[in-house]
Structure 1
Amino acid sequence: MVDIGTERYTFSFTIRDSPAYFINVQSWGREEYIRSLSESFRVGDCVTIENPLIQSKEAEREEKFSPVTPSGYKLLLSENHSVVKTSSCYDTDTRLLSLLHLPVKDPQDYYSLGDIVANGQSLHGRVLNVLAAVMAVGEPKYFVTSDKRKGQRCEVKLYDETERSFPIVCWDNESIQLAQSWIPQETVIFASDVRINFDKFRNCMTATVISKTIITTNPVEAVVDVYTVEQLKEKALQSDGKLEPLHGIIYGYISTLDIDENVSRVLRNRCSVCRFIVNEASNTCAFCSDVSPEARSTFASFDILVDVTDHTGTLRSCYLSDCVAEETLACTVQEFLMLEEDQKTALKWQLLLERSKIYFKDKMEVFGFSSDRHMA
């Protein structure tokens, strides 16, 4: 029973339990209930929903503002009868976790950033899919509207092989929190159903995360091609010795990993704003000169040259950098600096010559590494 005149609040989210099926969930209730529910889990958490009401959805009306789902139904949560429980990472089925990296749309159905820019204002107001890498993540900006409502905004710069910098704007708390977890020059996103607009003030095209948008971080379908070293060398020869930017997988092993030599060959300073490597002589970033000096700083990160070998040959001078290097070495920069020389050598030989599934992007930068110990 609802008291006449009592304000009711709503909260919506989307759940998925298989590659093919996902469904929208809506909840209504008092402000305290909705606020508590919305703060009890995040995108990527696994949940169990007890006693939801199953209702047919009005697709044409509802999917104007909600993600398009393959189901003809939606779930309704009742404050008095429904319960949402979160699962710890230890209790979560790994098959569910793998869905986090599987796009909800056809992974080949997207616009390149260059296509969006080239089509210009003809795409203004369109809702479409984007596949791109993260170049920089801005700090959330907070504001108050003229009618005293609080708001927030976060802008992320994307790039791909067709466009160096393209802005996508997040306005809601969930997408802003998600964006803060992205690693510039490491994270790839597949954003389904973002709105494209022409920004008159900046005279450029932009994308906006809306209530229909579902973002897949580091989509597995974005990396589908498996190469041998020989095939990559042939591609380089076909393009006058320069390997064009591409994503793929090599099944091979790291054959050179000189982490026990001079530390200057292992670590480089990066900009804390955009995470690009800074000029060694001046210790300044060429891309963030417009940022105030107080907001600029640098930090040490891994930037290791490695050789990758398979049964067909060796690719020399590939980059193993930043967070991917930390995951591969299983230690942070600070922990690495505390190692003795013999410990660094032992760490090197743990990884050398071990058959692995190596993900690479652009011009042979490793962005994923899985050894046989972790491979199915």
Structure 2
Amino acid sequence: MSLESQAIAHLESLKKDSNYRSLKRFNFSVSEIFDNSKDSKSSQTPTLFNLASNDYLALARDKDFNQAFLDSKLFKEHCHFSASSSRLLSGNFEIYSHLESHLKSLFCKEALLFNSGYHANIGAISALSALNVLFVADKSIHASHIDGLKNFKPTHFKRFLHNDMESLEKILSANAPLYDAVVVLSEALFSMEGDFTNLKQLVALKEKFSNMYLYIDEAHSIGSVGANGLGLCAKLGLLERIDFIVLTFGKALASVGACILCNATFKDYFINTARALIYSTAIPSINVARTLFGFLHLQDFNMQRKHLNAIATEFRESLKTHLPLEILGDYNIVSLVLGDNARAVQFSTKLLECGYFAPAIKSPTVPRNKALLRFSLCADMESQHLENLVKTLQKIANAN
């Protein structure tokens, strides 16, 4: 069978399993999304309420915030659209050091910038895997963590049940003495389940196992969690107890890129061994300046965070009251578990017909029997929007 024939067979298998993916074309306006994927001859462009954005503070579509950045000294002095080189060659502009220094002042850790959260995770985890270390990962960690471990010996990688500290402790008790170090991987706010990790209990285990290191991904909590948006580790006052913290800038920060926070030794180690850093053209300085601008103003958005928490609480409680389905989430990521791919696609399609954009989340992103709809709430949404959504979901559920 030819290579193309094999690819076609695989695609047909995905379609049969309701797991086929395709790209759509969108334009955005506030919390609405405009679907341009339809026939261009059509005079009407469907307007949908967007429940799939990670723009948690709504800064990407905040005209005043964006204009303030364009008027800033940061923008005017660092408006370069390409680094044209990796950071280790000629692409390490001064603005990189400015941002890393500012992050160090906020988190009391060294910071190392990467092009994305994906680059940070595959770069750092792959680099650490060259050492005598056992990785123990929450079963719901992001795909980028898994990809960082792909070339690692399977015997040095174990997984514990999602957010189950008893499961984790059993693995640590049996295996920690066999390794120089054990690195426990988790997310601060899980991207699909929407629940927070048991960070205090993880730190307590770290006290018990002296060779345990904690690697926490704050991708979905940086900017939107904590009094000044500095994430879960800072909110709980546990920054000094966490060895590696990943921050991404393409969600609540409304920019692009990521960083890993760690000590000076590990920063030097990653500079010398993280291939995702060494062999990637650096992101443009204009994006780094935008990220720094966001961090300089994070404390200005406490009202947005307060509102986000309020509507998320109302929405979760309303779903639990009106729908006989499993509801997941502790904050602004709320998931409706539907079981299989076909049912998740069916719910998503019905919502689309009613003006709501909430794509089905299917395997392998989630387990095959845990396909779901993921509702990503943002600070420019209002209670009435979400009340209407609950009523729509109730109608769809009753019809099925």
TM > 0.5 fold call: no
Q: Which has the higher helix share?
A: 2
Aligning the two structures, in what range does the TM-score lie when normalised by the shorter sequence?
A: under 0.3
Q: Normalised by the size of structure 1, how large is the TM-score?
A: 0.24
Q: Normalised by the size of structure 2, how large is the TM-score?
A: 0.23
